[in-house]
Chains A and B, each alone.
Chain A
């Protein structure tokens, strides 16, 4: 780290600064404003969810191991949901056909023409 040691270069600057005078007045709460702007500039930028997702897709997802796992997990989810819904649908159809069988045979349940 470079430190400012008193030396020939600074001496000239100090001389100028000592002789410098200005009549212009500072705006109200000048110092406070300056610190506020410094703090604002140093504050960490909060990333939006969209930005995080884009970053994840662009940088993290293309890693081979993660990409393979991602595709495998989604495939497993698709297969599981498909199987569960098919099972539900098959049970519904069979139940409906069973009820239909009885309705056809029972005059008190049979649909009237």
Chain B
């Protein structure tokens, strides 16, 4: 009887050990991505097979783009707050609201132009095939109505 229970436990132990070994090994790359300083850039490097030189250039472009992006965020927030204020004070479409809506549309257009410029620059630093794949994926994510959130790279 004792021998039977030892074998039973051995089987369960083997299953647990097999599970842990494979799980830890197979998720190590994902864990290392998450632990890196900039996980999204580390992911980009891995996903699009970038060399160190290409990755350095992409990181520089990324770093140069971020302040512009933050400034755009600030302008969008200000414009949205102004539009909300105007909408709260009226029941008709006034000339001020027209102007605010036009400014909101202009900001959106400028924001998309800026993003697109950045995406093209990044894609041009990649090998051509990867660059095409990157551009196709990132524009789907950034420009489709649902931001392409259900699409795979």
A interface residue numbers (CB < 8 A to B) = 54, 56-59, 61-62, 67, 70-71, 73-79, 81-83, 85-87, 89-90, 93-95, 97-102, 104-110, 112
Contact of A112 among B4, B12, B73 (CB under 8 A): B73
Contact A61 B8 (CB under 8 A): yes
Whole-angstrom CA separation of A87 from B26 in the bound complex: 7
Contact B43 A79 (CB under 8 A): no
Contact B147 A86 (CB under 8 A): no
Contact of B20 among A61, A82, A99 (CB under 8 A): A82
B interface residue numbers (CB < 8 A to A) = 1, 3-5, 7-8, 10-12, 14-23, 25-27, 29-30, 33-34, 39-44, 47, 65-66, 69, 72-73, 76-77, 108, 111, 115, 118-119, 137-138, 141-142, 147, 149, 152-153
Contact B29 A71 (CB under 8 A): no
Chain A min CB distance to B12 (Å): 7
| B-side contacts of A74, CB under 8 Å | 11-12, 14-15, 18
Closest 7 CB pairs of A and B: A78-B18, A86-B26, A78-B15, A82-B22, A97-B43, A82-B19, A101-B40
Chain B min CB distance to A60 (Å): 8
Taking A74-B18, A105-B142 as known contacts, 5 extra A-B pairs with beta carbons closer than 8 A to each other, sorted by chain A number, are: A59-B4, A78-B14, A78-B18, A93-B33, A100-B40
Chain A min CB distance to B89 (Å): 24
Whole-angstrom CA separation of A85 from B17 in the bound complex: 15
Contact of A104 among B12, B18, B29, B40 (CB under 8 A): B40
Contact A83 B22 (CB under 8 A): yes
| B-side contacts of A77, CB under 8 Å | 15, 18
| B-side contacts of A109, CB under 8 Å | 142, 147
Indicate whether A98 sits within 8 Å of B153 (C-beta atoms), given known contacts A61-B8, A71-B7, A74-B11: yes
Nearest B residue to A85, CB-CB: B23
Contact of B149 among A76, A86, A99 (CB under 8 A): A99
Whole-angstrom CA separation of A45 from B111 in the bound complex: 81
Contact of A78 among B3, B8, B17, B25 (CB under 8 A): B17
Contact A61 B15 (CB under 8 A): no
Contact B4 A61 (CB under 8 A): yes
